[in-house]
Every structure is written in C-alpha cells, then in structure tokens.
Amino acid sequence: MATASGTVAPQSPQRRSPALLVVALALALPASMLCALALGAARVPFGDVLGYVGAGVSGGWIDAADLPDYQIVWQVRLPRVLLAAVVGAGLAAVGVASQALVRNALADPFVLGVSSGASVGATAVIVLGAFAAFGVYALSVAAFLGALGATALVYLAARTPQGLTPLRLVLTGTALAYGFSAITTVLVFLAPRGDAARSALFWLLGSLGGVTWPSVPLAAAAVVAGVGYLLLYARALNALAMGDETAAALGVEPAPLRRRLFVVSAAVTGCLVAVSGAVGFVGLMVPHLVRMVTGADHRRLLAVAPLAGAVLLVWVDLLARTLVAPQELPLGVLTAAIGVPVFVWLIRRRAYVFGGR
C-alpha cells in the first residue's frame, strides 16, 4: 500500500466547528424575541420592552399609565414569543431525530402520524365541542390525546418481533395519517357551523394566537428535556443513520434506541402540537438547511438546529400576526411561503447530497 508517503501527519480536514454558528444564533434568538415583543399592532419602544420584562420577572413596579403596554408585552406577547421559540426549537430537533430514526430524508416530526392524530382530537373539540369539561384547555388536551393515540397505533401496527424497521414505520405512519385525516375531513364536513370549519382549518395549519402563560412551562420542559436527550444520543444517531447493521457493529443496539427515540419524539411533538397546532415544514426544512452548513454529523446538527428553528419561528410568528393585521395568518402558510423558495434555491445552489445521491 502507498502509505509510506505519510511522514507529514495531515490534520484531518474537518467542517468548520459550529461554535461560531451557535454563538451567532444564541445572540440572534434574544434579539429576535425582543423585536417580536416590540412590534405588532401596538408598537412598544425597545427600552420599555426590556423594562416591562424586567418588571415582570422581578415582580417590580411600573407606572399606572404604562399598564396597557405592560400587559401587551408581558401577558400577550411574551408567552407567545417564548412558545414560538420553544415550538421552533422542538420541531427542528425532533425533525432531525425523525430523519435519523426512519433513515429517510423526507421524514419530519409528523411522519409517525402525530399531527394527523392531534388534528382529529382538535377538530372534535372545535366542531363537536368534545372535552368541554377541560374548559379552555379542551383543545390542547384533545390534541395531545389524539397525538398519543395515533402514535400508539402506529407503534403497535409497525411492530415486529425484530423491532421497528424504518420502512415499516414510515409506511404505517403515512397510511394511518391518511386514515386520520379522513376522519378530520368528515368532522369538518359535518360541522353544523361554517366558522367551525374555518377554525379547524386554521388550527390544522398551526397558530400561536391566544396562547397564555400556562401553556409555556409544559411545552418548554418537554422541549428542553427532549433536546437534551437527543444530544446525549447524537453519536448513536450517527451510527443509526448509517444503517442498523452498522450501528450494531459500532456498539449501538438499533432496536432499543429506535424505540426510545420514537417515544421521545412522539411525546415532544405531542406537547408542541397541543399548544400550536400542526406547524408544517419547520421540522423538515430546518434539519436540511442546517445540514447544508454543518454537515450530517448529529453532534453538530443537534447543537445548531434547535436554535435555528427557534429564531425562524419567532420571526414567522411575528409576520403571521403583523402581515395582514388585524387578521392573522396560519403559521404553516408562512413557513411554506418562506421555506419552499429558500429550500429549493439552496438545494439547487449547493452541492447538497441527500437521499442516497
């Protein structure tokens, strides 16, 4: 072999470390959130925004004259902006996990039937008034239960004695999703009131309109725990992405890992869908966009993708409530409107290889 040439030990060329990118995004996130708190139907000066947030956090006092602005920033916008960041981060991270889990570049957090199941629950609440006992949380509870129910069905249907195989998971998830969306459609058609169909459609495309503080802690905790868990398994995800046999040969048992990732992904996605509806495209697009910069190594990918998803969704939500104010646009419409052209342009421009070629 021609190995004798190696007296100079060349540093193995590596992709640039993501540290810079992480720092940049970590700075961009609070800046974006500040913008989102200040801008909207009522404009609040940036300095005042900081003051109100400080007052809200520390329990300090403000002038009585500032009360309306304080309420806009602290009661209305802040929970919404925080949730936008949480949902964006969660969808991006779970998108990465889902793509490795089913080893498919087309996968997103909803590939396992989560969103379609949640839709059935939410539509049942909107159209039929189900779960009225839960009051204002009926929608979230129903969506969460729908998501979990759907995931459990997909899991049971896809399971084999050899474990969960990627292709079976994708096919089962996709097939059941058609079934669930058929149920949703029937519910919408049966809706006694026309505006119910409209609300259902709006929910299906994702929205953070009307979220309040109580929605924040659970979703935030789910995302923090989920991202933390995925980061612990970043190296194992690399092995899993190479194939089950390779993973086994690298000391990663694929079947239990896939099972655990499935449960974590479903739980996180269920929590997100419960508060925001099914925001499409973020979980598919952000992983690919980030991969174009950091490469496929999950250790880098999972460090960057949640931050990128958070920044993206904060801006998307800001646009959603300002573009056609006082009307609101569904988030899914904007993620698609922004995401599709950017995505297509990047795929054509960069030598980005995926899907086997």
Partner 1 sequence: MDVGIEGLTVTVAGARLVADLSVAAPAGTVVGLVGPNGSGKSTTLRSVYRALRPSAGRVLVDGDDLWRLTARDSARRVAALPQERHLEFDFTVAEVVAMGRSPHQGRLDRDSDTDREVCAAALRRVGADHLSARGFLTLSGGERQRVLIARALAQEPKVLVLDEPTNHLDIRHQLEILALVRATGVTALVALHDLNLAATACDVLYVLDDGGVVTSGSPCDVLTPDLLAAVFGVRAHVLEHPVTGAPQLVFSTALDPEGTL
Question: Which of 67, 249 has the CB closer to partner 1?
Answer: 249
Q: Is 350 in the site for partner 1 (CB under 8 A)?
A: no
Residues 6+ apart with CB under 8 A from 239: 246, 247, 250, 251, 252
Q: Is 349 in the site for partner 1 (CB under 8 A)?
A: no
Q: Tell the smallest beta-carbon distance from residue 69 to partner 1 (Å).
A: 44
Q: Is 242 in the site for partner 1 (CB under 8 A)?
A: yes
* Residue 112 and residue 97 in contact, taking contact as beta carbons nearer than 8 Å: no
> What region, left, alpha or beta, does residue 60 occupy, with left being phi > 0 and alpha being psi -120 to 50 degrees?
beta
Exactly one of 69, 108, 244, 317 binds partner 1 (CB under 8 A); that residue is: 244
Exactly one of 297, 304, 309, 333 binds partner 1 (CB under 8 A); that residue is: 297
Give first-to-last CA distance, the chain, whole Å.
30
Q: Tell the smallest beta-carbon distance from residue 6 to partner 1 (Å).
A: 5
Q: Is 249 in the site for partner 1 (CB under 8 A)?
A: yes
Between the CA atoms of 36, 39, 41 and 47, what dihedral angle is there, to the nearest 10 degrees? 120
Exactly one of 235, 293, 328, 346 binds partner 1 (CB under 8 A); that residue is: 235
Q: Is 295 in the site for partner 1 (CB under 8 A)?
A: yes
Of the candidate spans 39-47, 141-149, 190-198, 231-239, the one that interacts with partner 1 by CB under 8 A turns out to be 231-239
What gap in Å lies between CA 101 and CA 244, rounded to an integer? 10
Q: Tell the smallest beta-carbon distance from residue 356 to partner 1 (Å).
A: 6
What gap in Å lies between CA 221 and CA 213, rounded to an integer? 13
On the CB side of 279, how many CA atoms lie within 13 Å of its CA? 40
Q: Where are the alpha helices (DSSP H) in 124-193?
A: 138-158, 166-190
* Residue 37 and residue 53 in contact, taking contact as beta carbons nearer than 8 Å: yes
Residues 6+ apart with CB under 8 A from 216: 79, 82, 83, 86
Q: Is 174 in the site for partner 1 (CB under 8 A)?
A: no
Of the candidate spans 5-13, 127-135, 151-159, 332-340, the one that interacts with partner 1 by CB under 8 A turns out to be 5-13
Exactly one of 50, 171, 201, 250 binds partner 1 (CB under 8 A); that residue is: 250
Exactly one of 46, 213, 345, 352 binds partner 1 (CB under 8 A); that residue is: 352
Q: Tell the smallest beta-carbon distance from residue 12 to partner 1 (Å).
A: 5
Q: Is 52 in the site for partner 1 (CB under 8 A)?
A: no
Task: Output the six-digit token pair for 21.
Answer: 């990118």
Q: Is 162 in the site for partner 1 (CB under 8 A)?
A: yes
Exactly one of 30, 45, 243, 341 binds partner 1 (CB under 8 A); that residue is: 243
CA nearest 186: which of 174, 197, 171?
197
Which residues sit opposite 160 in a β-bridge? 163
Exactly one of 47, 192, 194, 251 binds partner 1 (CB under 8 A); that residue is: 251
* Residue 307 and residue 25 in contact, taking contact as beta carbons nearer than 8 Å: yes
Q: Is 192 in the site for partner 1 (CB under 8 A)?
A: no
Which stretches of the chain bind partner 1, using CB under 8 A?
1-3, 6, 9-10, 12-15, 99, 103-105, 161-162, 232-233, 235-236, 238-239, 241-246, 248-253, 291, 295-297, 352-357
